[in-house]
Structure 1
Amino acid sequence: MSGDHAAQTARLRAEVPVRVSTCLDVCDQANVIVVQPSAAGRAAGARPVWLGLVNDAYATEDILAWIRAGGPGIADRPDILDLYAFTPPRRAAR
């Protein structure tokens, strides 16, 4: 899936709700996936997690496994995903 946006989007959509944006103002981090916390995760104080440079199938599968486990605020983020996590610029985070 290396760099294949359509295949990555299809894989994610097969398991989780996906919203595609044309621009998040962080092009240097593409592919960017923002994992939103569930209602329970938000209640636990979780915030969206931004992951960048997600350009291979293994990373996509790691993200899906984390989401299946509960995602932000519910399940600890797997250490491997720390390699992809970044803080977006203020403008992009709005």
Structure 2
Amino acid sequence: MARRAARQPAAAPAAPVTVTVCRGCCCGTTAKHPGVDHAGQLARLRAGVGTAGQVRAVDCLDACGHSNVVVVSPSAEGRRAGGRPVWLGWVLAEDMIDEIGEWVRAGGPGIVPAPGVLDLQEFQVSRRVRDGLPG
């Protein structure tokens, strides 16, 4: 009787860079940021990130004083290299959206430093806020 090779479980796909965009009570509203095309920004961000990562919009990240808030979370590889989620505030200009897409395509946190002026937009959140976020 011939022996069959043991089946190896399929490798789980590596977690990509994730860009979380706040679109709740303050972020993403024309009431707080008139003249900003919020839907256009989200579409531009998705196009800029492309297949290098994923972009998701959430209701509220509870950091309204920094509106518009975007969190760039490292890929699995970036985490292994020491990368941690980077909170960016006041993401209102098109060049910032383009730089986020460029960063994700280059590998994101833990792999490469943030390009352009993104480091000036970075802020720290409280543990209460950070721990209360959905996975």
2:109 maps to 1:83: no
C-alpha displacement of 1:53? 0.2
Q: Secondary structure at the match of 1:45?
A: coil
2:36 maps to 1:3: yes
C-alpha displacement of 1:79? 4.9
| Residue identity in the other structure for 2:36 | G
Instruction: Name the structure 2 match of 1:44.
Output: 81
Q: Secondary structure at the match of 1:18?
A: strand
Give the TM-score, by structure 1 length. Answer: 0.89
Greater fraction helix: 1
Q: Which runs of 5+ in 1 are unaligned?
A: none
Of 7, 31, 45, the match for 2:68: 31
Q: 2:38 and 2:125 mapped to 1: Cα distance?
A: 20
Provide runs of 4+ in structure 1 moved above 4 Å: none
- Greater Cα offset, 48-57 or 62-71: 62-71
Percent of aligned positions that are identical: 53
2:46 maps to 1:13: yes
For CA contacts below 8 A with separation 6 or more, give which structure has more relative contact order. Answer: 1
2:126 maps to 1:93: no
Greater fraction strand: 2
Q: Which runs of 5+ in 2 are unaligned?
A: 1-34
Number of residue pairs aligned between Structure 1 and Structure 2? 93
Q: 1:91 and 1:8 mapped to 2: Cα distance?
A: 28
Give the TM-score, by structure 2 length. Answer: 0.64
C-alpha displacement of 1:77? 1.7
Q: Secondary structure at the match of 1:50?
A: strand
Of 82, 91, 102, the match for 1:54: 91
The alignment's C-alpha RMSD in Å is 1.4
